[in-house]
Amino acid sequence: MKRMVLRAVRGVLISVSVMAGGLHSMGGLGFGHENHPIHMPDPQQTVAFRTYLMENIGANAKEMKGKIDAGQLKEAKMNAAAIAIHATRIAALFPEGSSEDSSRAKAEIWQNWDAFLASATELSTEADALAVAAGENSATAVKDHMQKVFGTCKGCHDQFRKPEQ
Ligand code: HEC
């Protein structure tokens, strides 16, 4: 009896470490710039927290594209919904003047706040539309919205994000 429990526990431990290995090799979700696993920063640490959020948007976008390219549209729905939800938090995570040395946010964000906000809203709207289209297994609409989603990433980064230091 005791032995069986032990074996069951060991089985769980093994599957957990296999899962962790799988996540690690994906190189996305929750890993910092140097690919070390990191905890979610305190939401009060605005720059660290929004970088974590953006990196999670990036990890979801990458996984979403992989699934869509492989024709697994319904599986991509969850990633698109996560991006749509995250995008609704962008505005609150860029309070006026929140640019430290470690941040790539340009001052232009606050000089051109309406355009920045419009871009965040567009990301949320397009990712949400993609999630619906993915749920309906509608390939043409999915591809159309995916192009717009990646267009908003690029558009906002080109205008509002400093080049990598
Ligand atoms: C409304 C503007 C906006 C949109 C839309 C946007 N981003 Fe960002 N993103 C930024 C800004 C600004 C930063 C830099 C924040 C900082 O360093 O303080 C950033 C940072 C990042 C980072 C963190 C690493 C780095 O190099 O700074 C990743 C990854 C990222 N974005 C991916 C994406 C992806 C993928 C999308 C689209 C699915 C997206 N972003 C959409 C503005 C945006």
pLDDT (0 to 100) of residue 15:
40
Distance 162 CA to ligand 1 centre (A): 10
Tell whether 130 is covered by a domain. Answer: yes
Pocket of ligand 1 (CB under 6 A): 47, 50-51, 54-55, 57-58, 61, 83, 90, 103-105, 116, 119-120, 123, 149, 152-153, 156-157, 160-161
Query: Residue 35's pLDDT is what?
Result: 56
User: Could you tell me the pTM of the whole model?
Assistant: 0.83
The structural domain count of the chain equals: 1
Q: Are 15 and 8 in contact (CB under 8 A)?
A: no
Taking the centre of ligand 1 as the mean of its atom positions, its distance from the CA of residue 18, in whole angstroms, is: 30
Residue 10 has pLDDT above 50, yes or no: no
CA of 95 to the centre of ligand 1 (A): 15
Q: What percent of the chain has pLDDT over 70?
A: 78
The answer to whether 130 and 80 are in contact (CB under 8 A) is yes
Residue 143 has pLDDT above 90, yes or no: yes
Ligand 1 atom nearest to 98, measured from its CA: 18
Has residue 1 been placed in a domain? no
- Using one digit for the tens of pLDDT, what is the confidence trace for 56-113? 999 999 999 999 999 999 999 999 999 999 999 999 999 998 988 889 999 999 999 9
Nearest alpha carbon to residue 60 among 144, 154, 150: 150
pLDDT at res. 100: 84
Contact 76, 64 (CB under 8 A): yes
Average of pLDDT values for 127-136?
98
Query: Could you tell me if residue 13 is inside a domain?
Result: no
- Total Cβ atoms within 10 A of residue 77: 21
Q: What is the pLDDT of residue 50?
A: 97
Q: What band does 162 get if pLDDT is binned at 50, 70 and 90?
A: very high
What CATH number is associated with residue 107? 1.20.120.10
Domain range spanning residue 77? 39-160
- DSSP 8-class letter at 35: S
Q: Does a structural domain hold residue 135? A: yes
**What letters, b where the CB count within 10 A reaches 16 and e where it falls short, cover 7-16?**
eeeeeeeeee
Q: Is the pLDDT of residue 130 over 60?
A: yes
